[in-house]
Amino acid sequence: MSTHTPSPVAEELAPEPVPDDVVNPGAAQIVNLGQRRADRVAAEQGLVVVGDDDGESVEAGTVLVGTVVDPPDPPGDALAFLDVRRTPVFPVWLSDSQTRRDAMRRAVAAVGYHAGVHAVRIPVYAALVAWYAPQGAARLTGRVLGWTSAEVGNWGLRQDAATRNDAKTWLELDRHRQRQASWRWWVTGAGVLAAVAAVLVVLSGVTPGWARWLLAAVGLVALARYGRPVDKPILARTVVRAKYRKLTAELTRKGIMATGLVKKPEDIVFPAGLGEIRREGPGYLAVADLPDGVIAVDVVDKREQLAGGLRLPLDQVWPETMPREHPGRLALWVADKPVSAMRQPAWPHLSGGATDYFKEFVYGFDPRMRKVMYRMDERNSLFAGFPGSGKSLSGRVVCAAMSLDPIVQFAIFDLAGRGDYDMFEPLCAPGLFGSGADEDTKRAAYRMLLWLVKQCDERGPIIKGWAQQGLNTENKLNRAIAMRDPRVRPIAALIDEIQELINDPELGKAASAAATSVIKRGRALGIHLILETQRIDKESLPKGVTSNIALRTCLAVPSHVEVDLALGTGAFRQGARPNQFEIGVDAGWGVRVGMGPMTTVRAAYLDRRTVEKICAKALALRGGTREQVDLPPARDILADLAVIWVPGERGQHWKTLAPRLAEKFPDAYAALTAEALSALVRALEIESRNVKAKGVTQRGIYHAQIIDALAARDRSDSDDDAEQVEEDR
């Protein structure tokens, strides 16, 4: 122990004395190397290693932050499986008369076809039988002799023994052959005798003539069959079995993997209860859950790669999203043959029976050949698609169905003038049918829209009156009211190539405003407007018109832009792919929204003659007469402006003039907007000007402009009259 007294500074710097009883400097320390290493690593990571003696540290227990994420499963309904009904009690062909009739028709057609094919070829068959039957007889004789003499097989072995100079074996084999042949000759002899006896019986008078011919024919055919080469059948092949790929889990995974969206095949799961791959219509259906991050729309988008992976034509592969299921669930339907080559079932309404404006009817069939329904009440329709995509024929199916409800009135304008709707003319009141690409037809179509606006005005109070009398619980047209009151019969109004009217410089704006008004107000009043267009852009399909149409069908279009314009923004994202339809091949195919889930559907194919027959029947249902309607008179906008002009006003805004016109002439101008009025006047080559009225400057017209234009028109009319008089002289 040291004895010197330390200086105060040295005392401060000196390490604190360690009590002897804590550390024994002489004792060797045992170092836990593993602990040291762990401490060093922890120190490098900035962690503090605490010893057992650190009073500040506490042991980390289970820390719960927030609520429990996975709550315990709710008790499941153990008996839920009792409510699942997948297979109908009776097969569909037994319970559904339409399917039964269809199956019968197909069976009769098939029998007729095969019988016809073979009947025509009977001379060829006879020649082939005559050629092969002797060969068959020679072959049969050779075989019987070969067996009887026991040479078959034995001869080859004997030859072998002879080649080897093995006389003993040769003799042994020959003895064996003789032993076999000795009893076989008896069998063959007996057989020949029996055959000769049979032939004598057949040739004798005991056997009727027809049986003789039949047995001779059967015998010859049997010999010919025996004598023909294996690869040369006598009967023509009439059944070529459809080649289809049976969809299996492995194949489904292979197809989906080909899209490049999924990394591991085992990530594609077939959900229990839904996932068994099964027959569905003329094809197979697989329902698969895609891995996290992949949704069914992604697969729909990669339909081509999917079809490539399945080694099938595109037309046979129909991936779909599943409405009301999670977005990662894919329904993959694979047809037995390309859908464009499949025959649609017959349109059920052809086989008689009336339709009902207020109920569903069959519009067409989906790729799985299931019926797709359509409904008119409280809706309007839009058919958009490129030329040749099948719009007119699709709209025609709707009109044909409605013609079978005798209380439905028609108003039809075909602005292409191709005559697709000519057969409906007798069902339309005078003035409510037009077909042509000329100005007069457009004017008549516009007038029809004005008539519909007027109908909207008049029908509201009538329907309300009937509803108050207990014919409906709401102020909407129903069948009871329509049957009771002829003034409110349902109207199916159609304009084909509506873009011709909407883009018209004179009538466009006014027609668009009138159509919007009818679409918005007419639904509940029994007015269903069907618009068809081949130009799909913002100008031809103004938002006011389309956004209020519930039932929209988009047929073949070039890109997703048209899909969203026709079906509504977001339709493409949700899996609508009418841009994949090929014009011509896929004519009539479309994607429909607005009634149940989004559906891919092809309208029933009704050719011109069929529709003509339906229309003839429809006219008979309506008593063979055309109704008369009270159309609004054709108006002269300049004269009408002069009538409503307030004396003393130098000029006036369009905004003020439009409601004045609507008030004075509601039949013609009820739906007129300031913009539409301006367009109507400008189309007469009269300028729209800045007009100051009541201290505000806005676009409008001066009174002097109207007076001048009327005077100029009068002058030109009188000049025309003078010229006419001159010509007549």
Ligand X SMILES: Nc1ncnc2c1ncn2[C@@H]1O[C@H](COP(=O)(O)OP(=O)(O)OP(=O)(O)O)[C@@H](O)[C@H]1O
Residue 391 or 454 having the CB closest to ligand X: 391
**Are 436 and 461 in contact, with CB atoms under 8 Å apart?**
no
Ramachandran quadrant class, 526 (left: phi over 0; alpha: psi -120 to 50; beta: rest)? left
**112 labelled ligand-binding:** no
The verdict on whether residue 632 carries a ligand-binding annotation is no
* Residue 46 is assigned to a ligand binding site: no
Q: How far is the CB of 386 from ligand X (least distance, A)?
A: 7
Q: Are 696 and 651 in contact (CB under 8 A)?
A: no
Write down the least CB distance from residue 391 to ligand X, Å. 4
Q: Is 390 annotated as a binding residue?
A: yes
Shortest reach from residue 643's CB to ligand X, in Å? 41
Mapped onto helix, strand or coil, the DSSP state of residue 551 is strand
Output 610 or 656, the one with its CB closest to ligand X: 610
Closest residue to ligand X, judged by C-beta, is: 588
Give the position of tokens 């097969």.
91
Helical axes 654-664 vs 637-644, angle rounded to 10°: 90
CB of 489 vs ligand X, minimal distance in Å? 28
How far is residue 713's CA from residue 682's CA, in Å, rounded to a whole number? 15
Distance CA 360, CA 290 (A): 35
Helix (H) or strand (E) holding 359: none
Cβ closest to ligand X, residue 385 vs residue 700: 385
Q: Which residues lie across from 374 on neighbouring strands?
A: 361
Query: Is 435 marked within a binding site?
Result: no
DSSP conformation letters of 262-288: -S-GGG-B--TTT-S-EE-SSEEEEEE
Q: How far is the CB of 422 from ligand X (least distance, A)?
A: 13
Nearer to ligand X, 529 or 637 (CB): 529
Question: What's the Rg (C-alpha) of the chain?
Answer: 45
Interface positions with ligand X (CB under 6 A): 385, 387-393, 416, 534, 587-588, 602-603, 605
Residue among 306, 373, 312, 367 at smallest CA distance from 340: 367
Q: Is 208 annotated as a binding residue?
A: no
Q: Is the four-CA dihedral 593, 595, 599, 600 of positive or negative sign?
A: negative
User: Measured in Å, how far apart are the chain's first and last C-alpha atoms?
Assistant: 157
Query: Residues 355, 604: contact at Cβ < 8 Å?
Result: no
Is 408 or 603 the residue whose CB approaches ligand X more closely? 603
Q: In the bound complex, what is the minimum distance in angstroms from residue 693's beta carbon to ligand X?
A: 46
Residue 388 or residue 633: which is nearer to ligand X going by CB?
Answer: 388
- 351 labelled as ligand-binding? no
**Is 95 part of any known ligand binding site?**
no
Which helix (H) or strand (E) is 109 found in, with range? helix 97-120
Q: How far is the CB of 600 from ligand X (least distance, A)?
A: 13
Closest CB 348 distance from ligand X, rounded Å? 15
Rounded to 10 deg, the angle between the 654-664 and 674-682 helix axes is: 90
Q: Which residues are annotated as a binding site for ATP?
A: 385-392
Q: Which residues are annotated as a binding site?
A: 385-392
